[in-house]
Amino acid sequence: MPDVTFTTETMQYIALFESLTGAHAKDCLVLDDEDSRIIFVVKSGDMGLAIGKNGNNINRVKKQIGRNVEVIEYNDDPKEFIKNLFQPAAIKNVVIATKGERQFALVDVASKDKGIAIGKNGRNINKVKSLAQRHLKIDDVIINQK
The domain segmentation of the chain, as residue ranges, is 8-73, 78-145
At 7, phi and psi to the nearest 5? -90, 170
Give me the pLDDT at residue 136, please: 94
Q: Would the pLDDT of 29 be above 70?
A: yes
Cis amide linkage into residue 88, ω under 30° from 0? yes
Read off the pTM: 0.90
Intrachain domains 8-73 and 78-145 with the same fold = yes
Q: Would the pLDDT of 145 be above 80?
A: no
Q: What is the radius of gyration, based on Cα positions, of the chain?
A: 15
Give me the pLDDT at residue 36, please: 84
The answer as to CATH 3.30.300.20 being correct for domain 78-145 is yes
Give me the pLDDT at residue 105, please: 96
Q: Considering the chain, what percentage of its residues have pLDDT values greater than 90? A: 88
The 10s digit of each residue's pLDDT in 59-86 is 999 999 999 999 999 999 999 999 999 9
Give me the pLDDT at residue 45, please: 95
Q: Considering the chain, what percentage of its residues have pLDDT values greater than 70? A: 96
What contacts 38, CB < 8 A, 6 or more positions away?
13, 28, 29, 30, 31, 65, 67, 68, 69, 70
CB atoms within 10 A of CB 42: 23
Coil, helix or strand for 103? strand
Q: Would the pLDDT of 1 be above 60?
A: no
The 10s digit of each residue's pLDDT in 30-62 is 987 676 899 999 999 999 999 999 999 999 999
CATH superfamily of 8-73: K homology (KH) domain (3.30.300.20)
Q: Would the pLDDT of 142 be above 70?
A: yes
Average pLDDT estimate for 131-139: 94
